Amino acid sequence: MAFTWEKAFSRVREFRFAISPEKASPTEITRLQNIPDLKRFLDLVHIKHCLLRPYFELPHYPLVDPRELLPSFEGDLYEYKDLPGFSMVALGRPLRYFQEIFQYDILHCLHDYNAEEYREQCPLEHSIFTQNIRTFCARLPKVAQDAFRSDFSDRDVSSLENYPALLPTILQMDRAHVFSQDSHNDFYLSGVYCSFPSYLDTELKRFGLNIRKFSVGDDRKYERNRNFVYQFLMELYGFPIVSERRTSSALFARRLFRMGEQFMVRVLGQTDRCITSLSSHPEAKYYPRVEKIALVSIDSLHKDLVAVLDEGGYFVDKKRRVVILRVTYRQHKYDPNNVRQDRALSVSAQEIIHPLTAKPLPRVNIIKDIYTMFLRLNDIVRGEYNGRVIYKRNEVVENTDTHEKRLKCLYFWLGKHQRRIIGYSDEFYSNVVKVLDNYLLNADHYDDFDAMRDLYQEVWSRYSYIQQARKVKDLEDLQDRHYKGQRISYLKMLTLYVEIMNDLKFEIVNYFETLVEKVLHIGEKVLSDSYLAANYIRPREEKLSEYGLSVKKTYGRLVALLDEFKSIRKAKKEKGLNLPLTADPM
């Protein structure tokens, strides 16, 4: 029998009281008393009602491309107004209405009243229910109020048992809803119409000052680096530069984390179609844990995985190979000396959730698959790619039937996978270079490329940046005298430095100041190595062995090369030439 959204998680006994249409007995009602338990419950409810239900009820539900879940994230061009969207916060403690740092309309639960004689059967029950209904209705359109009163007049809207039935109403409300614990440590719906404080200007400038991309009073530096700082800050919390709902959710989570709260902030955008969760976690020491859940289609190229998923019943829609994918991310602190300094986020884990049992299938690789990534590149240069990409955040490019579209898709592809091309294996990199060179340097295309010279130069500059950054990464790896997984001698290290820098010297016709600065920083660090100086540089030549003389000679070549790079940097700065690429829009 075909799967439908009503059957979702029907085999999960843990939360049958809220997920199953059958009425659960009191003994089956699970108490939710910590954030991880609440998160598991909300995962199932939100997947069922906010992802699966729209998928089955809307004729053309826009599935998420697995590529969209891979950092760096793309900006959104479309808002699907027929899809649900919401934001919420859960705090692992009772709320203190006046002392909270956010505004919301309060809802009361029966346990707000702790008198002993009211615990079994509270005589205030009806008045509490009525007050909560009144709070809801105050934020609903007038035409919807009567129906809401009729449906929930004798029900406790603050109880998690009624949350799934209440969710369609909550999805119509503009602002967030709130969960917290009552006096018995059980979670309940404690507020609606909540506004998250974001303080975007303050947070952005403070973060930029901390990573030294901004200086107080320096408007030019602020203008030059603002986009990079903004993009890096947002990506730490799982978003590109996006709408107010997701921006405020990210910055509110940032603030709660700094305050040491036990919390979860969750948001579903009508543009990204992803349930994004930001939560405190024992392993999250510097930033909240980031997790995304979305409906994606498994590429038919993953034949082994498709067979496993089919046998295990993991498909939501077998014909389209649709699954529920959960991706967990890891944040990275900003490091100005790392050639991949724009890497704020990377994929930590991927798992597929079973639509009936909720059992996860771990250790799958859908969004970081090198084989699929390389095939997409081949499709683009051959003109066989039929997907859609967003060029520079303001133009949708569909298919690759012209050279102009191919170049725009290449520009996007190089930007999207820049960090991976720089950091992945030599075999993968050499294959990428071979494909790109065969296309971009093909004499048969010169006339076509000449007609769109600016676009061609944009692609070539991005490609040149990656080629140079790859060499700079090799220099970074050499600092610890490790090369291709092996420990190497000082002479081998210096020899490789000289070879790589010689190659770079001729490649910086396309000049990128950030890369040259990194080369100089790495070079100076090597030259100041105390052991190297004490044992090979300071001693007189007659006291050195043949090996020591070779080290000293190679050291001198490296000094000369660094002086050449400094001269090139000085000349370029005097001419005002620089191609800043890392923060360019895709």
Sign of the four-CA dihedral 445, 449, 451, 452: positive
Q: At what angle do helices 163-170 and 35-46 cross, to 10 degrees?
A: 60
Task: Work out the burial of residue 457: count CB atoms within 10 Å of its CB; fewer than 13 is exposed, 13-18 middle, 19 or more buried.
Answer: middle
423, 280: one domain: no
The DSSP bridge partners found for residue 329 are 290, 347
Question: Is 28 inside a domain boundary?
Answer: yes
Q: What is the pLDDT of residue 121?
A: 45
534, 447: one domain: no
Strands 388-391 and 482-483: unpaired
d(CA 492, CA 496): 6
pTM score, two decimals?
0.84
Question: Is 125 inside a domain boundary?
Answer: no
Question: Is 23 inside a domain boundary?
Answer: yes
**In total, how many domains does the chain have?**
3
Cis peptide before 20 (omega within 30 of 0): no
Spell out, as residue ranges, where the chain has pLDDT lower than 50.
115, 117-118, 121, 579-583, 585-586
Q: Which residue is it, tokens 């003389």?
A: 549
344, 208: one domain: yes
The DSSP bridge partners found for residue 331 are 345
The answer to whether residues 222 and 208 touch, using CB atoms and an 8 Å cutoff, is yes
The answer to whether residues 109 and 184 touch, using CB atoms and an 8 Å cutoff, is no
Q: What are phi and psi of 315, to 5 degrees?
A: -80, 130
3-state SS, residue 291: strand
Q: How far is CA 268 from the centre of its chain?
A: 14
Q: What is the pLDDT of residue 16?
A: 66
Q: What is the pLDDT of residue 485?
A: 76
362, 380: one domain: no
Question: Is 151 inside a domain boundary?
Answer: no
428, 516: one domain: no
d(CA 569, CA 578): 10
d(CA 294, CA 353): 10
440, 336: one domain: no
d(CA 526, CA 558): 10
d(CA 328, CA 202): 28
Task: Choose one of 388, 420, 451: the last residue of a domain.
Answer: 451
Read off the DSSP letter of residue 317: B
Q: What is the pLDDT of residue 300?
A: 84
d(CA 437, CA 522): 29
d(CA 579, CA 573): 12
294, 413: one domain: no
Q: Residue 259: how many CB atoms within 10 A of its CB? A: 9
Question: In 34-47, which positions are buried (b, 16+ CB within 10 angstroms) versus exposed (e)?
Answer: ebeebbebbbbbbb
529, 570: one domain: yes
Describe the strand order of the beta sheet including 322-331 as a list of residue ranges: 103-106, 187-195, 176-181, 86-91, 263-268, 275-279, 289-297, 322-331, 345-353, 360-361
91, 73: one domain: yes
Q: Which two tokens stand for residue 140?
A: 């609903």
Task: Choose one of 347, 368, 389: the last residue of a domain.
Answer: 368
Q: What is the pLDDT of residue 583?
A: 42
Q: Which residue is it, tokens 């969209």?
A: 68
Residue type, 155: R
Q: Which two tokens stand for residue 473?
A: 């990464």
Task: Choose one of 310, 343, 368: the last residue of a domain.
Answer: 368
Terminal-residue alpha carbon distance, the chain = 44
351, 273: one domain: yes
- DSSP for 333-361, please give it: ---TTSTTTT--EEEEEEEEE-TTT--EE
pLDDT, one tens digit per residue, over 213-265 is 999 989 999 998 999 999 999 999 999 888 788 899 999 999 999 999 999 99
Question: Is 179 inside a domain boundary?
Answer: no
Q: What is the pLDDT of residue 577?
A: 55
360, 221: one domain: yes
d(CA 279, CA 256): 9
Question: Is 162 inside a domain boundary?
Answer: no
80, 10: one domain: yes
Question: Is 275 inside a domain boundary?
Answer: yes
d(CA 316, CA 260): 38
Domain that holds residue 564: 471-585
Question: Is 529 inside a domain boundary?
Answer: yes
The answer to whether residues 346 and 71 touch, using CB atoms and an 8 Å cutoff, is yes
The answer to whether residues 45 and 16 touch, using CB atoms and an 8 Å cutoff, is no
